[in-house]
Amino acid sequence: ALWTEEEETFFIDFLISEFTSLGDGGFKKLTFQEAAKCLKVKFLQQAGGEKTVASCQRKFQGLKKSYNAVIDIKNTSGFTWSDQNGAGIALKNHDVWDRYAK
């Protein structure tokens, strides 16, 4: 599903509000059911179609994967990170990126 930045932000804020219901393996299916329901109410004309339980679960997995990649980059020697500029990959440090990408 296609997500707008506003839909993503709403979804993330919803998950943060449900953090106390986090189980051992992550959010329960009921949490994603509620997220899909809240998205439907908040965004009557959803970009890329209605967000389903499955699309909410996939979005969460994708966000988690991106988050873990950023944490990994932040912890890799030779990289710098800023919330404004990201990894700041430039020609002068392409060798560090090449080593990381392998």
Host H or E run for residue 95: helix 94-101
Number of domains in the chain: 1
Q: Look at residue 54 in the predicted model and tell me its pLDDT.
A: 97
Residue 96 lies in a domain: no
> CB within 8 A of 50, min separation 6: which ones?
1, 36, 40
Q: Look at residue 80 in the predicted model and tell me its pLDDT.
A: 73
Confidence band of 23 (pLDDT split at 50, 70, 90): confident
Residue 18 lies in a domain: yes
Tens digit of pLDDT for each residue in 3-14? 999 999 999 999
Print the domain residue range for 28: 5-76
Other C-beta atoms closer than 10 Å to the C-beta of 59 total: 20
Burial class (CB in 10 A: 0-12, 13-18, 19+), 97: middle
Tens digit of pLDDT for each residue in 43-93? 988 878 889 999 999 999 999 999 998 888 888 777 777 778 777 777 776
Residue 47 lies in a domain: yes
Residue 88 lies in a domain: no
Residue 100 lies in a domain: no
Q: Look at residue 20 in the predicted model and tell me its pLDDT.
A: 83
Residue 45 lies in a domain: yes
Q: Is this prediction's pTM over 0.85? A: no
Q: Look at residue 98 in the predicted model and tell me its pLDDT.
A: 78
Q: Do residues 39 and 46 touch, judged by C-beta distance below 8 A? A: yes
